[in-house]
Every structure is written in C-alpha cells, then in structure tokens.
Amino acid sequence: MERPGLVIFDCDGVLVDTEPVVQRVLADWLTRHGWPMTPEESARTIKGSHIAEIQQQAEARLGRELPGFIEGYRRSMFEAFGAGIPEIPGAGAVLERLVSAGVPYCVASNGPHVKMEVSLRSSGLLDLVGGMDGGRIFSADDVGEPKPSPRLFLHAAERMGHDPASCVVIDDSVQGVLAALAAGMRIIGYEDLTPADRLLDAGAERVLERLDELPRWLGLGAARAGPSPR
C-alpha cells in the first residue's frame, strides 16, 4: 500500500477493547426495556450503530417511546468502564510507530467525546492521541450524522488538512467500512467482534486479525513488540 497521508482510527474495538463491555451493557439495557437481546446478538446486528439510532430501532420494535434511554445506557456503560478498559493489544505500539515514521493519525468515532475520553484515558492511550484538546479526536456528534454517513471521516480529514484520497481508515464495523468508501478513502478492517467476511463483503480491502500488523501493510515496517494478541 502507498504510504498514507493520514490514518483515521475508529475508537471502540480498534484502539480500546470496550466492545465486550459495550455489547453486554447494551444487550442488558435493551432486554430491560422489553427487547430481549444477548451480547452476541447485539454485536451481530447493531454493533457500530449510533445510540440514537438504536433507540429509534427499539422504539419502533416496541411501539412506544423510551424516555431517558440514552442517558440511562451511558450511565450504565460508564459504571462498567470503571473496572478499567484495556487497549487493543498492540494499539500503543502502532501509534508510536506512526509517530516515529512521521505519519499523522486521528480518531473518529460514532461515540461521544466523553465516552472516548473515559476509554482512552483508562487504556493509557489518551496522551498518544494528543489528549482531548489536541484536535485529533472527532465524534459523529460534531457533524450530526453517524457512520455510515461519510461526513465524520470527511470532517476529520478536513480538520487534519488532508485530501480524503490520501487517507486510510481503520474500522471494525460494517458502518465504518461503508462510511470510508463513501468518503473516497481506503479502508482496512480490524476483526474484533465483526467477522472478517462481513467487513470484506462491505468493501474493506483487507482485514487484520492483529492490529500490530498495520504498520507493515502501510509500508512502515513492524511495530515494536507489544502485548500478546488475544
């Protein structure tokens, strides 16, 4: 692959290992509101969706409004995060390799800024992405349209000063793959809870089983040794 001008990382399931916690909390929250759901079903059917879209789906399915749904879900999620959130194995080493190679990167997620702050800080990655005031963390809330809309990725590229065609997105969801393609960006999938074949079918040009494989695919050589892969 040609050396990218900018690497755009999704957050949950790509840099921080929040997805098992998120899917467990989300499944429990939906079940409590009358839509029986297991974490496995949540990961398979609604992973990567914005929480407002999930609320709309739940209300349509149940035929009633769910006031306080988002606030209650986020409160439960942050309580669960209190136990600590690890990085995806190798994430810190990959970011350090990009720094040493002079390749800029940023984070763009459907999640809100407060969620990214909690998870990135807990995992020890917040300083590596410049902190919350470093101008390298972008949320779908910034543009009013979550993935699979391309607006978030286009916004991130514009703010970082790069042409979309020079950007490579790393995402673990079908929504992220579709958003990257719609933005005219290259997309590498990361196989977290979404099977590789679904990411490839959506249009990812390749799917990584280990995040520390990324620098090699970007033509930067290997990242330094990091935590053992799962």
Kindly report, residue by residue over 20-44, the tens digit of the pLDDT. Answer: 888 899 999 999 999 999 999 998 8
SS3 breakdown of the chain: % helix, strand, coil, rounded to 5?
A: 50, 10, 40
For the chain, list the domains and their CATH numbers.
6-18+86-217 (3.40.50.1000), 19-81 (1.10.150)
What is d(CA 230, CA 228) in angstroms, rounded to the nearest whole number? 6
Share of the chain above pLDDT 90, in %: 80
What's the whole-number mean pLDDT along residues 95-117? Answer: 95
DSSP secondary structure code for residue 205 in this structure: S
**Would you call 180 helix, strand, or coil by DSSP?**
helix
Residue-wise pLDDT tens digits, 164-210: 999 999 999 999 999 999 999 999 999 988 899 999 999 999 999 99
Alpha helices in the chain (DSSP H): 19-32, 39-45, 51-62, 69-81, 91-101, 113-123, 151-160, 174-182, 196-202, 214-217
Predicted pLDDT of residue 224: 61
Residue 227 has pLDDT above 70, yes or no: no
pTM of the model: 0.84
| pLDDT over 80 (residue 223) | no
When pLDDT is cut at 50, 70 and 90, the band that residue 230 belongs to is very low
Element at 107 (helix H, strand E): strand 105-109
Q: What is the pLDDT of residue 30?
A: 95
**Which among 100, 90, 115, 84 is positioned nearest to 14, based on CA atoms?**
90
The per-residue b/e assignment along 17-44, b for 16 or more CB within 10 angstroms, e otherwise, is bbbebbbbbbbbbbeebebebebeebbe
Cα-to-chain-centroid distance, residue 52:
16
Q: Residue 47: pLDDT band by 50, 70, 90 thresholds?
A: confident
CA angle in degrees (0–180, nearest 5) for 216-49-14: 20
Residue 87 is classified by DSSP as: B
